[in-house]
Structure 1
Amino acid sequence: MPSVTYQTSGKTIEVEQDANLLRTSIRYEGSVPYKCGGGLCGTCRVQIVDGHEHLSKIMKKEVDRLGQEKLDQGFRLACQTFVTGDVTISWGEEDLNRLGKIAQRRINAAQ
């Protein structure tokens, strides 16, 4: 079985072949930041540290949300990416800060 290492949260999880990175993170508390889970918002952006060759092809939603420059730097949307072998992913403070700002806007809008 393939394994996914969520480097930022320090978890490694064995997954089924063709498992989705975001769904696996949600199910096993990998802690990938996310909002929508459908490729619309881009909050589940992760960087592939190792195992690019063990991922599904890049989807149109990823090109639209991330742009070619980020894709070339190894970024993917976890919600659009499926695993065929061992992979290591990470996400940075800027991703967590961006998600925090989105959450704060939602809180302010509800008040």
Structure 2
Amino acid sequence: MPVGKLTFEDVAMTVNVPEGTRIIEISEKIGAGITYGCRAGECGTCLTHVVDGAENLSDPSALELRVLKENLAGRQDRLACQCQILGGAVTVRPG
């Protein structure tokens, strides 16, 4: 199974994660500062800025795109409860 590296800038921590892992799952485990409400992609509280490695994340779903638009998110912002690591290296910080 492919493995990726996920770095959280706010806590200066990098972890190896299996392909398909959602960012919010690791954020919870290590105590990073990404907050969340619903975990279903509808509230937008887990807005996360992708500093580097956006190409190593899953494509946003129609639901995620709608919520990002409603929250006036930037081009490098994603919902941590929705996007998955596909491999490679990804660096994020709370949005």
TM-score (norm 2): 0.84
Tell me the percent identity.
31
Aligned to 2:91: 88
Check the 8 A contact 1:13/1:28 in 2, yes or no.
Answer: no
Aligned to 1:61: 63
Give the alignment's Cα RMSD to 1 decimal.
1.7
Aligned to 1:46: 48
1:23 aligns with 2:25: yes
The amino acid across from 2:93 in the alignment is S
TM-score (norm 1): 0.73
The higher relative CO (CA closer than 8 Å, separation ≥ 6) is in 2
Deviation at 1:27, TM superposition (A): 2.3
Structure 1: 5+ residue stretches without partners: 93-111
The amino acid across from 2:90 in the alignment is V
Structure (1 or 2) with the greater strand fraction: 2
Deviation at 1:14, TM superposition (A): 1.0
In 1, distance between residues paired with 2:4 and 2:76?
19
Structure (1 or 2) with the greater helix fraction: 1
| Cα displacement string for residues 56-100 of structure 1 (whole angstroms, at most 9, x for unaligned residues) | 0111121111118635x21000000000121000125xxxxxxxx
